Chain A
């Protein structure tokens, strides 16, 4: 089984820790993971802004880089959903039948990380230890475009020592939406402000999600307002073990397990 990590351009440039955590978690679970260095971006920004030909070019590139692998793991529901959701449509729009075929062949082997863990590796308890108060934001793509269902919750609840609190109004969009937040900053800012308020209501030390883009959006607001809540990709929580101990700088939650 040849497994590749598609780290995504955002994680590559801005959130390398999530990629590193994904590598260490997958190795711990016995997966031999490769990082083909020709990879770049899934093209979602182009797709969502209406640029189909550009998306098709990036789809071609994605196929060239990954078609030799049995599985492609993506630590992002929104980027992980692109091959199945958009590539064939983008390829059709430029009349590239060969690309449509290649994309259809590859897309079923592309998995969002939590889905890969629960459905391909068939684990829920990944042996993680994280003795802190955590809340979780289900991103819109993880709810609807590439639905991961309750998988992240199942994985989180199996973490030792965790004090998990539900986020109020969790299914509401954080207002990122890629270029939406640039084109409509006022509305986006208002949505994000409400999301940040809900996060604070939980008293959590950590806000988790499966998309760093949304975490960057909510985290950017929390940081600007001077709040110490730490945004963390879910995989960074799952990667931590009892040997690592508590995460430095975070209050240890007062649960049974942590006493």
Chain B
């Protein structure tokens, strides 16, 4: 069985392990720093960048407001073009549909491309159970799969790994899944790329069935779009006989022309490139050219739940460029796996609770996995206001019907609030703090504040508060 995020610990716990892994932190910091700088340079080239962001956000809002009719349009267009459309309410349904479709072909090994959604629903394990092996073909996704690891980034799933680690994984694992790594492989990037190319090529040429995701789904034409940089997508999408595309229902753009906006935003914001090297589009089936059987599986799996959340629905505008994680200081210290999902970083902190509900300790911890610094708001190409959504979700966790409550915190904040809106009580509290000042331990506070003092000294509490000083001197004039 492949590793999954099922049963993952809550964020603060998972983060402790990550922050103390020096190698991981160095790898993540180096990688995000590089992409961040490239992105900043490329975005600065575009004087119309803010307009592009406005257009993208508006287009996606329109899609979300009329999702029902766009989805029906997609179904109609895809069917008219010779494809079959399937609807999946949740992960189990999606897995069953895909498993049945693959089984019907009689194939035992299939290839995958751009398949974050398959990770979200745990498709690999479902296929494995019926004896089908699904191999990732994106380089980074393949590194994660070969290493029996979990992804840590939406664009660069193996971002937490360095070259030496990748070389070791290749040498150890490639032979067990097909063509082994070449003799004497070093950690030189061109050599690593060549090893992956040879290993993959064998799979592309053999595979009769491919499973893909899609970056966009054009309602007007029923066209699916994959944007990638290695050419593996082009291979999977054109060489297989049967193509099964799993797409989240929020991936729609209304018109072919709208791709203009998104394709310009995506590459620059994701990897700091002017244009992605490969953009592949496919519309149904064309006799004699490409896959002759095409299935589109439209997956909900919590998306309508997110859509029903007035503040949170903006998270469904996400086009998975990864910029929010590249800029996030919390992500940079923890890497992506701490978020317990294929969607990490700021988008993961809001999307997971929206999709799954903020009712268990893992998803309930995510809205708090942010210092609310707001850096992500500035880079999101579809203008998601993360800080607004984080606050809304915190409100749902703190005051809503969620099973996860924070009784002690709630009581404390209530008590503090009660004191603060009664001047006499507040005066007394400040005075008491001044008196207690010398008694406050300098190096370790008791209770929930203990963690804070692990890496900080508490400030000295002055004997005279500001208000006491004002009273004594009337603002220094006495």
Q: Which B residues have a C-beta under 8 Å from some C-beta of A?
A: 11-12, 15-16, 19-20, 25, 329-330, 333-334, 367-375, 377-378, 387, 391, 393-399, 409-410, 413-414, 416-417, 419-421, 423, 426-427, 430, 433-434, 443, 448-449, 451-452, 454-459, 461-462, 464-467, 469-471, 475-476
Contact = CB atoms under 8 A, between A and B. Distances in A.
B370 A224 contact: no
B371 A12 contact: no
B423 A38 contact: yes
Contacts of B330: 184, 187, 191
Secondary structure call for the B interface: helix
A184 B448 contact: no
B399 A50 contact: yes
27 contacts: A7-B467, A9-B426, A14-B459, A14-B462, A35-B466, A43-B417, A50-B398, A51-B399, A52-B395, A54-B414, A54-B417, A57-B417, A60-B421, A61-B420, A61-B421, A140-B373, A171-B375, A173-B329, A175-B329, A184-B11, A186-B19, A186-B20, A189-B19, A189-B451, A191-B371, A221-B457, A223-B456
Given A23-B476, A49-B394, A191 B454 contact: no
A41 B419 CA distance: 10
Given A48-B372, A190-B333, 8 more contacts: A12-B466, A40-B419, A48-B391, A145-B374, A182-B449, A184-B11, A186-B12, A186-B451
B415 to A, nearest CB: 10
A221 B457 CA distance: 6
Given A54-B414, A185-B451, A224 B457 contact: yes
Interface string A166-182: 00000111011111111
Interface in A16-41: 16-17, 19-20, 23-24, 27, 33, 35, 37-41
Given A177-B371, A217-B456, A224-B456, A50 B397 contact: yes
B373 A52 contact: no
Most buried by A among B372, B409, B451, B455: B455
Most buried by B among A54, A61, A175: A54
A48 B372 CA distance: 8
Interface string A94-138: 000000000000000000000000000000000000000000000
B171 to A, nearest CB: 32
A13 interface: yes
Nearest to A180: B371
Contacts of B375: 140, 144, 171-173
A241 interface: no
Contacts of A228: none
Contact of A172 (B329, B423, B430): B329
B455 A57 contact: no
Q: How large is the interface on A (under 10, 10 to 19, 20 to 34, 35 or more residues)?
A: 35 or more
A52 B454 CA distance: 30
A6 to B, nearest CB: 11
Shortest 4 CB-CB contacts between residues of A and residues of B: A177-B371, A185-B451, A220-B456, A50-B394
A38 B387 CA distance: 31
B31 to A, nearest CB: 16
Secondary structure call for the A interface: helix
A69 interface: no
Most buried by A among B398, B467, B471: B467
A2 B255 CA distance: 57
A216 interface: yes
Nearest to B450: A185
B371 A20 contact: no
A243 B454 CA distance: 41
A187 B369 CA distance: 9
B56 to A, nearest CB: 21
A11 interface: yes
A93 B400 CA distance: 13
A84 interface: no
A259 interface: no
Interface string A73-107: 00000000000000000000100000000000000
B397 A35 contact: no
Contacts of B11: 184
Given A140-B373, A188-B371, A183 B399 contact: no
A46 interface: yes
Contacts of A220: 455-459
Contacts of B417: 43, 46, 51, 54, 57-58
A51 B465 contact: no
A193 interface: yes
Given A187-B333, A192-B455, A24 B476 contact: yes
Interface string A188-225: 11111100000000000000000000001101110110
Contact of B420 (A7, A58, A176, A224): A58
Nearest to A78: B372
A144 B377 contact: yes
A45 interface: yes
A224 to B, nearest CB: 4
Nearest to B475: A23
A41 to B, nearest CB: 4
Nearest to B368: A183
Nearest to B461: A14
Contacts of A229: none
A96 to B, nearest CB: 14
A144 B374 contact: yes
A43 B416 CA distance: 10
Contact of B454 (A12, A39, A189): A189
Contacts of A153: none
B455 A177 contact: no
Nearest to B330: A187
A177 B372 contact: yes
Most buried by A among B377, B434, B451: B451
A182 B451 contact: yes
Given A51-B398, A52-B399, A57-B421, A187 B459 contact: no
Contact of A187 (B19, B367, B421, B426): B19
A212 to B, nearest CB: 9
B398 A184 contact: no
A50 B391 contact: yes
A58 B462 contact: no
A252 interface: no
Contacts of A172: 329, 375
A158 interface: no
Contacts of A183: 12, 368
Contacts of B25: 190
Given A16-B465, A180-B371, A182-B451, A50 B456 contact: no
A244 B187 CA distance: 62
